[in-house]
Amino acid sequence: ETGVTQTPRHLVMGMTNKKSLKCEQHLGHNAMYWYKQSAKKPLELMFVYNFKEQTENNSVPSRFSPECPNSSHLFLHLHTLQPEDSALYLCASSQDQTGVGNTIYFGEGSWLTVV
Amino acid sequence: AQSVTQLDSQVPVFEEAPVELRCNYSSSVSVYLFWYVQYPNQGLQLLLKYLSGSTLVKGINGFEAEFNKSQTSFHLRKPSVHISDTAEYFCAVSLTGSNYQLIWGAGTKLIIKP
């Protein structure tokens, strides 16, 4: 069983829909991340939460809205997405954001298709 | 700007043959170096990392990597691959003093031929 669980694993949504991706980590970590993975491109860091506070927003469009109610849960709310937003969205966690050489633990990802 | 280059998008190799996956980075400050692996339909997991000390780092599943500061490289090697090594491999660099945010390469798909 993975220490980072993402649901749903697959999501198809229309451009006018509102949906959410959910992530839960069972590792006792304090930092959680959202990454976007597109084919043949480096992983794109979207958001970072450290001790429930958002510390990074890498110029992500406002149609993506993160929420971190506690250190174990992370959501990505999706609203009026574009077809180019179709990708694998990976949630990850680590002990904290600033630890030297901290290992990042990833979930299996949520495949998002925008039609 | 700092960057990570994985020179090969795909590497085909016969089973039981050796393999080297190349990773080069550009940075003007000290770095920490990582290799992650992504098996089909799974998330990424850590293979190995270099923080300090010996430049030869051993990881899981028989992989090792060598940090070469003068060539700014961190190539991944395995002396004999198995079909189960089929995966995508990602090199990443963390800069000191940058909140340790990772900079990722685009990945190399290792294709094992029977």
Q: Which residues of A touch B30 (CB under 8 A)?
A: none
Enumerate residues 6+ apart whose C-beta is below 8 A from A28: none
Closest alpha carbon to B51 in B65, B62, B39? B65
Higher-pLDDT residue of A96 and B1 is A96
**pLDDT, tens digit (0-9, with 9 covering 90-100), for A75-103:** 999 999 999 999 999 999 998 877 777 88
Structure token digits, residue B58: 């051993």
Structure token digits, residue A5: 């669980």
Q: Residue A63 and residue A78: Cα distance in Å, rounded?
A: 6
Chain B residues with CB under 8 Å of a chain A CB are 4, 9, 32, 36, 41-46, 49, 51, 90, 94, 99-107
Q: Which residues of A touch B100 (CB under 8 A)?
A: 97-102
Sheet containing A4-7: order of strands: A4-7, A18-25, A73-79, A64-70
Q: Which member of A40, A45, A102 has the closest CB to residue B9?
A: A40
Q: Which residues of B touch A40 (CB under 8 A)?
A: 9, 106-107
Q: How confident is the model at residue B94 (pLDDT cuts 50, 70, 90)?
A: confident
Q: Which member of A2, A4, A42 has the closest CB to residue B104?
A: A42
Would you state the pLDDT for residue B37? 97
**pLDDT, tens digit (0-9, with 9 covering 90-100), for B34-92:** 999 999 988 999 999 999 889 999 999 999 999 999 999 999 999 999 999 999 999 99
- For chain A, the average pLDDT equals 92
Residue A3 burial (CB count, 10 A): 14
CB–CB contact B102 A45 (8 Å): yes
Beta strands in A8-72 (DSSP E): 10-13, 18-25, 31-37, 44-50, 53-57, 64-70
**Measured between CA atoms, how close is B37 to chain A, in angstroms?**
11
Enumerate residues 6+ apart whose C-beta is below 8 A from B38: B44, B45, B87, B88, B89, B90, B107
| Cα–Cα distance list, B68 to B47, B50, B57 (Å) | 18, 11, 11
